[in-house]
Structure 1
């Protein structure tokens, strides 16, 4: 049996579709299909049912998936040990929201590059919770405390929010679309918005800020983004201030890798220096 076949099967089981597994593995659809067929032939078992809406595991497939997950966990634990004795070179992958990356962090990474010129950074702007255990990223900045037992979290900062609008904006709101109605920001607007019309909805903070600048209404925005933005005025809040905590997460097996530690130390120092801006 080929481990690569098992790895492809495991990704298909996780993603639920051939196309999603192919994208995740950076393989063609045909290659994923061939790998799956080869694994089933080697085991003499049917592992998945091909359905119009995707792939569903058979009972045998579920059993093989459980064993493959255990194998993958151990393989990833070994991979996380890679580079633990190396110097400050190589790549560190960091994931966070696009607004935080583009408007705050990336412009402030110059000192890190100057101090460690052989260190390569890869910034992944994604709202999905990328897996640190499976090395989809080395570090993550998230607006929630860590829940996974193998993740170590450090609170970087408290983020303050304010209500911002263009000078001639109507008495309306800019908010999130329904898919993000459970976010604290959306809940705050629903509770303290006074029943005002939501004239514009977007699923990104940068989209909402652009809509506020364009005059659609008032948007609840992180102060670090909106304060000083041309065309926006800060309005009195109709309710208690909203704050959220930014956490830096790392898998405990990666925290002492020198290049990862260098980025952790830089981020910790940076967020401390910018505390007033972040708190608003």
Structure 2
């Protein structure tokens, strides 16, 4: 059923004639008759009886109108949704790695969403970059600066990196490293200086963290996933001189959108809190 067609049924009932419904809806009288005939044909029941020059609704029409009135009430409520919400309204898709979403954003998301009832955040988490140029995300947090793209990019800050190794172990610890395609990151540049063969290769920092936590492995971790390890006396932590820059990508058409600007400010606070911590 087409909502515009259903409005015609209500208008004919209220006005009593096709001409009255035509004037109320500001459409041609013949269009009212044609569309009403189509509705009756589709439903297989007559909706109006002609009585003394007036259109009187049949019992079937009254049943249909009960639903039409409920739909009209819901439509009115939809129109008032924005009135009950404080601040900007919108749904934003944020792409990031799993660990950034889990360790940096999500612990701070509840307060942000409770304070901004009109906002909805969708977290898109993956070790692979989303196709930002294909509109798969509205915002993206990257640990490597993109070479180019039709989007706004700004630096969020940097992340401290720590090299962990067991204080004591039998033999050489298992060295954990990242895949070759991540060879340009500071973590891998540091590990290459170790001139040791990596025996665990993964792009999942939680896997590396779990191996290090067992006190038999060594590897580099970003600060937001290793707070518990820094206090472990069975591990030696070395702060790397190089840090990982963090970049924020924003779709150009959203740069001035109030909901987007509010969310960008929140993301910046998340990383500022991380730096202060």
Provide the aligned length of Structure 1 versus Structure 2.
188
CA distance in 2, matches of 1:241, 1:276: 18
Once the two structures are superposed, residues 23-49 of structure 1 have per-residue CA deviations (whole angstroms, 9 ceiling, x without a partner) of xxxxxxxxxxxxxxxxxxxxxxxxxxx
Greater share of helix: 2
Is the contact made by 2:163 and 2:221 (CA closer than 8 Å) also made in structure 1?
Answer: yes
Match of 2:252 in 1: 252
- 2:183 is equivalent to residue 176 of structure 1: no
1:110 has 2:110 as partner: yes
**1:39-58 map, 5 Å:** none
What is the TM-score with the length of structure 2 in the denominator?
0.60
Partners of 1:159 and 1:244 within 8 A in 2: yes
Task: Determine which structure has more spread, i.e. the larger CA radius of gyration.
Answer: 2
SS of 2:158 mapped into structure 1: strand
Whether the 8 Å contact between 1:93 and 1:124 is mirrored in structure 2 is yes
Shift of 1:115: 1.3
SS in structure 2 of the partner of residue 95 of structure 1: strand
Q: TM-score, normalised by structure 1?
A: 0.60
Q: How much does 1:262 deviate?
A: 1.5
Note closer, same or farther for the CA distance 1:123–1:249 as it changes in structure 2 (3 Å cut).
same
In the alignment, structure 2 segments of 5+ residues that lack a partner are 1-86
Superposed CA deviations along residues 188-217 of structure 1, whole A, max 9, x for unmatched, are 201x21x23434222211111111112332
State the Cα distance separating 1:117 from its structure 2 match: 2.1
Counterpart CA distance in 1 for 2:255 and 2:162 is: 34
Post-superposition Cα deviations, 1:67-124, rounded to whole Å, max 9, x if no partner, equal xxxxxxxxxxxxxxxxxxxx62331100111111112221111221121123111111
Equivalent residue, structure 2, for 1:142: 142
Structure 1 partner of 2:41: none
Question: 8 Å contact 1:176–1:186 — kept in the other structure?
Answer: yes
- 2:191 maps to 189
Alignment of 1:1-280 (within 5 A): 88-169=88-169, 171-172=172-173, 173-190=175-192, 192-193=193-194, 195-229=195-229, 231=232, 233-236=235-238, 241-277=241-277
Structure 1 residue 145, shift from structure 2 partner: 2.7
Relative distance call for 1:234 and 1:138 in structure 2 (3 A) is farther
Q: Distance in 2 between matches of 1:177 and 1:150?
A: 28
CA contact (8 A) 1:200 1:216 kept: no
Q: Check conservation: 2:93, 2:139, Cα contact below 8 A.
A: yes
Q: What is the rounded CA distance, in whole Å, between the counterparts of 2:153 and 2:159 in structure 1?
A: 16
Distance 1:147 1:176 in 2: 21
**Native 8 Å contact 2:104 2:271 kept in 1:** no
Inter-partner Cα distance in structure 2 for 1:93 and 1:118: 15
Q: For 1:218, what is the secondary structure of its paired residue?
A: strand
Rounded to whole Å, the distance in 2 between the matches of 1:166 and 1:110 is 36
| Conservation of the 8 A alpha-carbon contact between 1:90 and 1:120 | yes
Aligned-pair RMSD on alpha carbons?
Answer: 2.5
Structure 1, unaligned stretches of length 5 or more? 1-86
Distance 1:248 1:108 in 2: 17
In the alignment, the residues of structure 1 paired with residue 157 and residue 176 of structure 2 have an alpha-carbon distance, to the nearest angstrom, of: 25
